[in-house]
Amino acid sequence: MARQIPTLSSKLTAVFILISFITIPATGKSSDFVKIVDRDSLGLGKEKVSHFKFFWHDIVSGRRPTSMKIVQAINNSATMFGLIRMIDNPLTDGPELSSKLIGKAQGFYGSASQQEVSLLMTMNFAFSEGEYNGSTITVLGRNEVFNKVREMPVIGGSGLFRFARGYVLATTHKFNLKSGDATVEYNVYVMHY
């Protein structure tokens, strides 16, 4: 007999679930602030995967830096823990700064580890070239800068990148020890419509 109790209660649960599915659409008036939208009305056709390759220039030196310290690291931190830099870094299609500009990486990064040099990257790739002009890809992730390849998630986007998701692979192309300027190759794999 005791064994039948859970069986009975799970049957009751199933009935309740069924009833709630049946009754809510029948009796409940849909809310004014939300409604289900037809995918086609948003132009959501087939999802595609794009691979972008470009170079990210972190210019910290000279007369026109694009990466500026806005919060000082805590004292005596070997990993510069606490440092935050705001960036408006050029993105170019080739490794030289003089290569074609395709957009800017706008956002900030901060030193977020007390053990190794690891950054929290928070940035939008704001494209300014061709059909992607005005569209953005948002990256938020962990960047352990001394690793050869760092993977970070693409968490969204705007314009042609609405509903975007994916990842980036960042590889340091050049680092100038004296000036602190860095050029990083970004390979972006993004699913979008």
Given candidates 134, 146, 174, 179, which one binds ligand NAG under the rule CB under 6 A? 134
Max distance between CA atoms of the chain, in angstroms, equals 84
- The reply on whether position 131 binds ligand NAG by CB under 6 A is no
Between 133 and 179, whose beta carbon lies closer to ligand NAG? 133
Site map for ligand NAG, 23-62, x if CB under 6 A?
----------------------------------------
Per CB under 6 A, the list member of 9, 61, 128, 179 interacting with ligand NAG is 128
7 or 75: whose CB is closer to ligand NAG?
Answer: 75
Letter string b/e over residues 41-57, b meaning 16 or more CB atoms within 10 A of that residue's CB = eeeeeeeeeeebebbbb
129 binds ligand NAG (CB under 6 A): yes
- Does residue 94 bind ligand NAG (CB under 6 A)? no
Binding mask 149-188 for ligand NAG (x = CB under 6 A): ----------------------------------------
The contact set with ligand NAG (CB under 6 A) reads: 75, 128-129, 133-134
